[in-house]
Amino acid sequence: MPNRKPSDLVILITGATSGLGKALAEAAGRAGANLALCGRSRDKLDALLRELDAMAIPGKVYAEAFDATEASQVGAFVERTLAALGRIDVLVNCAGANTARGPVAGLTVGDLEAMMALNCLSPLAFIQACHPPMASRGGGLVVNILSTVCRFSNEGLGAYTASKTAFEGLVGVYRKEARKAGIRVSAVYPGGIDTPFRAQARPEYLRPEVAAEAILSLILLDPSLAPDELVIRPLVETNYA
Ligand SMILES: NC(=O)c1ccc[n+]([C@@H]2O[C@H](COP(=O)([O-])OP(=O)(O)OC[C@H]3O[C@@H](n4cnc5c(N)ncnc54)[C@H](OP(=O)(O)O)[C@@H]3O)[C@@H](O)[C@H]2O)c1
């Protein structure tokens, strides 16, 4: 039995057009939450909206497609979400990618900049846009999808790891600062999830629906509980202490 009623919540999910974010949008929508959804692809967003419509989800939905690395677009989307849905109770920073694979010795500045823009600066822009309205309402929850690459070094993933660990640093400091405003800040560290994140299917990894249920459970915990960190892995993974 969840501690919070999903229908009382407005949940903003970035990266809602694919993989984990899409599965979370479906699960939260099915549970009755009101949703603000964004992704990069207009076509994928339209397909998701048709799917949510066919599911006859009870809550309200506001959605836009845009490039989340453009901070002005992030701010405008948050403003329009507030106008459409009245408030944001939960921000889920889920959009992300690993498009700069290769050994550290061969990394270019461009590789690092691209990963930093999407995996660090973009979720920071969402935090900065959502913080004032959450603080003025006395609280909120910010769920940040990081990765177990923050815990273990993986060859070939230098730029992605640098961007995720840079954002992890900001999340840790923000958690302390935001607590005073009643805002709880979660760092979620997934291991492998079988999504389009990778070129090849990995059926032995977590199904996105299963990972999404874990994150929805975290969102629905009683607001007196601060779920600072959550590590979730498929059983096949062995890179843990
Ligand atoms: N899959 C894994 O094994 C794994 C493990 C650890 C952590 N993670 C993290 O989990 C999160 C979700 O990944 P996933 O596995 O669900 O990957 P995914 O299926 O590829 O989904 C990524 C999402 O991010 C969006 N996105 C990418 N670039 C964008 C941009 N410039 N502007 C706006 N949206 C953008 C995509 O939008 P479009 O589809 O519309 O382009 C998509 O909705 C990421 O932060 C990832 O780093 C994944």
Return the ligand 1 atom nearest residue 206 CA: 3
Q: Tell me how far the alpha carbon of residue 21 lies from the centroid of ligand 1, in angstroms.
A: 7
Distance CA 60, CA 83 (A): 13
The pLDDT value recorded for residue 1 is 52
- Model confidence over 58-116: pLDDT tens digits? 999 999 999 999 999 999 999 999 999 999 999 999 999 999 989 999 999 999 999 99
Return the ligand 1 atom nearest residue 44 CA: 40
Distance CA 20, CA 156 (A): 23
Query: Which of the residues are catalytic?
Result: 160
CATH superfamily of 6-232: NAD(P)-binding Rossmann-like Domain (3.40.50.720)
How many CB atoms neighbour CB 42 within 10 A? Answer: 12
Cross-sheet strand order for the sheet of 140-145: 61-65, 34-39, 10-13, 90-93, 140-145, 183-190, 229-232
User: Considering the entire predicted model, what is its pTM?
Assistant: 0.98
Q: Tell me how far the alpha carbon of residue 169 lies from the centroid of ligand 1, in angstroms.
A: 20
* Closest C-alpha residue for ligand 1 atom 29: 40
Q: What is the average pLDDT value for the chain, to the nearest integer?
A: 97
* Domain edges within the chain: 6-232
Query: Would you place residue 2 in the very low, low, confident or very high pLDDT band (cuts 50, 70, 90)?
Result: low
Tokens read off for 227: 């779920």
Residue of 193, 194, 202 best suited for mutating to test ligand 1, as the one with most atoms within 8 Å of CB: 193
Return the ligand 1 atom nearest residue 67 CA: 32
Burial of 213 (0-12, 13-18, 19+ CB in 10 A): middle
How many CB atoms neighbour CB 208 within 10 A? Answer: 23
The pLDDT value recorded for residue 215 is 98
Residue of 18, 101, 157, 232 best suited for mutating to test ligand 1, as the one with most atoms within 8 Å of CB: 18
- Model confidence over 8-47: pLDDT tens digits? 999 999 999 999 999 999 999 999 999 999 999 999 999 9
Percentage of residues in the chain having pLDDT higher than 90? 96
Count of all residues that appear for the chain in the document: 241
